[in-house]
Amino acid sequence: MNKEKLVILGSGPAGLTAAIYAARADLKPLVLEGPHPGGQLMTTTDVENFPGFPDGIMGPQLIDNMRKQAQKFGARCEMKAVSRVDFSDPKSLKMTVNGEEVTADSVIIATGSVARWLNLGKGEEKYWGKGYTACATCDGAFFRGKAVAIVGGGDSACEEATFLTKFADKVYLIHRRKELRASKPMQQRVFENDKIEVIWNQNVTELRGDPLLESVELTETDTGEKSELKINGLFMGIGHDPSTKFLDDSLELTNGYIKVENHTNTSVPSVFVGGDVADWHYQQAISAAGWGCMAALDAEAYLTSLEA
């Protein structure tokens, strides 16, 4: 059994920023990178809104830089995932890692969330970064003067449709039903915006274009009738799934996201949290990084209090 001082779960911006801070505090953190090392930035191309990179930086490069920075100060990054945890004893946190048991005095959970994609099974991954994206905040500015569509009928889709009208000339909001799930004020904003057209009762069933996205096939949900919509960008607004499955009932959750108190505290005093696994709202690389920093500082204070 391996006994660690601090284990960080996840290797996106939250986990790696936590690792940089914890390593600089000489905590020698073990970073378990998870099933998708680097997280959502690994499927992102140009990142133009992360401070410090005036010419932008590719998502995977940004992750690689963060990992190297953490390792430089002594973080140990391992491509392993936690399948089970037992947090019943806060002084000895247990995790099953690739079949082995690891215990730790403190854990930072930064396992992020996964954007929901269409999953049509028709090779639509080839359009990632070529018009098919799940982040309006990150990629909206690439579609200045173009026509784009966002799929979904919740608050995210409505908020992002409105945001996209800052850049795009035309924004289609494609929803699979005849009424939106979003809150009334959010719906109102969509209906009052001349640039947004809501397309009701339709599913996107195919992405087309070579190599860039040029159009999508729509299928009417009741009749199955097909049509084509010409667009340059397709945004996903159908929600995110926080990566919390391995926790079982070990921590309190809210709507599937880890419940947080006092910035980074969870329902177990030695377990801290940072980034999208607790954030249904901002979901940005920089907000995750900032939160990872806070989690590391709080974990450090907790570990210091054990020595007192």
| Structural tokens at position 116 | 């929901």
Rounded Cα gap, residues 159 and 82, in angstroms: 34
Q: At what angle do helices 13-24 and 285-307 cross, to 10 degrees?
A: 40
| Structural tokens at position 150 | 């966002």
Q: Which of 138, 155, 158, 279 is catalytic?
A: 138
- Min separation Cβ 181 and ligand NAP, Å: 4
293 catalytically annotated: no
Residue with Cβ nearer ligand NAP (149 or 271): 149
Give yes or no for a contact between 5 and 106, defined as CB atoms under 8 angstroms apart.
Answer: yes
Q: Which of 105, 139, 155, 276 is catalytic?
A: 139
- Min separation Cβ 305 and ligand NAP, Å: 34
Is residue 163 close enough to count as binding ligand NAP by CB under 6 A? no
Q: Which of 77, 105, 135, 279 is catalytic?
A: 135
- Show the site string, 286-305: x = touches ligand NAP by CB under 6 A, - = not: --------------------
Using CA atoms, how far residue 203 sits from 150, 170, 182, 293, in Å, is: 11, 19, 18, 40
Residue with Cβ nearer ligand NAP (74 or 154): 154
Helix, strand, coil percentages (3-state) for the chain, rounded to 5, are 30, 30, 40
Which of 151, 171, 234, 293 contacts ligand NAP by CB under 6 A? 151
- Show the site string, 265-284: x = touches ligand NAP by CB under 6 A, - = not: ---------------x----
Is residue 154 close enough to count as binding ligand NAP by CB under 6 A? yes
Which of 8, 238, 278, 299 contacts ligand NAP by CB under 6 A? 238
Which residue in 112, 108, 110 sits closest to 134, CA to CA? 112
On the CB side of 289, CA atoms within 13 Å amount to 16
Is residue 122 close enough to count as binding ligand NAP by CB under 6 A? no
Is residue 159 close enough to count as binding ligand NAP by CB under 6 A? yes
**DSSP codes of every residue in 296-308:** HHHHHHHHHHHH-
Is residue 239 close enough to count as binding ligand NAP by CB under 6 A? yes
77 catalytically annotated: no
Beta bridge partners of 224: none
138 catalytically annotated: yes
Which of 3, 177, 178, 226 contacts ligand NAP by CB under 6 A? 177
If DSSP states are collapsed to H, E and C, what string results for 112-166? CEEECCCCCCCCHHHHECCCEECCHHHHHHHHCCCEEEEECCCHHHHHHHHHHCC
Is residue 156 close enough to count as binding ligand NAP by CB under 6 A? yes
Q: What residues make contact with ligand NAP under the rule CB under 6 A? A: 116, 151-157, 159, 176-177, 181, 238-239, 280
So which residues are the catalytic ones? 135, 138-139
